[in-house]
Structure 1
Amino acid sequence: MRPQKVLDIEILTGLTKVFRSKGYEGASLKELSQETGLKKASLYHRFPDGKQEMATAVLNHLGEWVQTNVFQLLLDNESTPQMRLKNGLSEISKLYDRGNEMCIFRALSMQAGIELFEEQIKNGMKEWITTFKEVGISLGLHDSQAEQMALQVLIEIQGSLIVTKGLGDISIFENTLQNIQHTYLKD
């Protein structure tokens, strides 16, 4: 058996880059091929259902990353809620490369993508809200207040990514994360 020339993580990284920048409809097979280092036939060999399977793989990959690197930190009862929040926000900054990268939910929720990935996007957003709600509760907020704040966190993160990209100023995203921390910790 021949060794794989392109590692799976490299493929997912390339696919993620294209889908984040072009969205589902805008991502061409040529661009997906170039970014992954695979020929079109090899892409179809790995993803027989084509572009939709590639995008699903990206959603799953990023979902697993967020679960491991963000949500587990935010819910880790061995750390104080304050440290969990700070560490989680730091990982969110990494996820979006300090605001340089778009959210995959946004990229895949435009045009035909929303119909194809609506359930995954909805579930992913609900998980963000549930996790930040738990952070709020651990910091002493009432259930409804914690849920409202968690929803606001999702809105602020998503909105700041769009404004950051539109104005070309990554400080907007970083300031948003600092404001989220300040809102929760009142520091």
Structure 2
Amino acid sequence: MAKVSDIEILNGLMSVFRSKGYDGASLNELAEATGLKKASLYHRFPGGKKEMTAAVLDFMESWINDKVYKVLSDEKLVPTQRLKEALDNINAVYNEGREVCLYRSLSMDTGMALFGEKIEKGINQWLESFSILGKAVGQDAETAMQMAKQSFIEVQGSLVLSKAMDSTEPFQNAIQQIKNRYKT
């Protein structure tokens, strides 16, 4: 039997948490999505679903740090290059608008009570990243933060709309709006 990589496991877990949230994710679904038996899943995550969720959130935080924050903060690149690379990464993580946001899925009911601090940290990291970009294109600190918040709202809102309409067009339009906002 082939060994399942940590990345495959985390991506499998994330797909279930994205679609079901914390409360809706069953152990059977989590095991099936990872390709592991329930016993193997518990062996890797003895703390159960709570530990699995924390690991997925840590994985997402690391992804945001590497693919958004570091990219948008990279002063070796001109702001337009930073934005293009970061938006390409965002487009990829949301499968061009076909995937829902992990933070949204986990910000309901028990998920928020258990993981609110991790969710808030990830969102703040996102906002700080776009704020840095805003300052790089000449926005003052207050405007840069407002535009960062607007970008987050547009991505999240467009993901909901894309899912409801079964179309990636709202998400792609939001990505274009963000591109337009940070033109130098």
TM class, shorter-chain normalised?
Answer: over 0.9
Which residue number in structure 2 is paired with residue 56 of structure 1? 54
Aligned to 2:53, the other structure's residue is in SS state: helix
Which residue number in structure 2 is paired with residue 101 of structure 1? 99
Which residue number in structure 1 is paired with residue 170 of structure 2? 172
Q: How many residues are aligned here?
A: 184
Q: After superposition, where does 1:11-160 map in structure 2 within 5 Å?
A: 11-160=9-158
Q: Deviations for 1:17-57, whole angstroms, at most 9, x for unmatched residues?
A: 11111111000000001111111111111101100100111
Distance in 2 between residues matched to 1:60 and 1:157, nearest whole Å: 21
Q: Give runs of ≥4 in structure 1 deviating > 6 Å.
A: none
Aligned to 2:154, the other structure's residue is in SS state: helix
Q: Is the 8 Å Cα contact of residues 151 and 178 (structure 2) preserved in structure 1? A: yes
Q: Deviations for 1:101-146, whole angstroms, at most 9, x for unmatched residues?
A: 1111011111111100100011111111111111000000111111
Q: Deviations for 1:60-116, whole angstroms, at most 9, x for unmatched residues?
A: 111111211222111111110111111111111011110011111011111111100
Deviation at 1:4, TM superposition (A): 7.3
Deviation at 1:184, TM superposition (A): 1.6
Distance in 1 between residues matched to 2:54 and 2:158, nearest whole Å: 25
Q: Is the 8 Å Cα contact of residues 65 and 125 (structure 2) preserved in structure 1? A: no
Distance in 1 between residues matched to 2:162 and 2:23, nearest whole Å: 23
Alignment-mate amino acid for residue 175 of structure 2? L
Alignment-mate amino acid for residue 111 of structure 2? G
Give unpaired runs (5+ residues) of structure 2. Answer: none
Distance in 2 between residues matched to 1:94 and 1:70, nearest whole Å: 12
Give the TM-score taking structure 2 as reference length.
0.96
Deviation at 1:165, TM superposition (A): 0.6
Distance in 2 between residues matched to 1:6 and 1:134, nearest whole Å: 38
Identity of aligned residues (%): 47
Give unpaired runs (5+ residues) of structure 1. Answer: none
Backbone CA RMSD of aligned residues: 1.3
Deviation at 1:163, TM superposition (A): 0.8
Q: Is residue 183 of structure 2 the alignment partner of residue 185 of structure 1?
A: yes
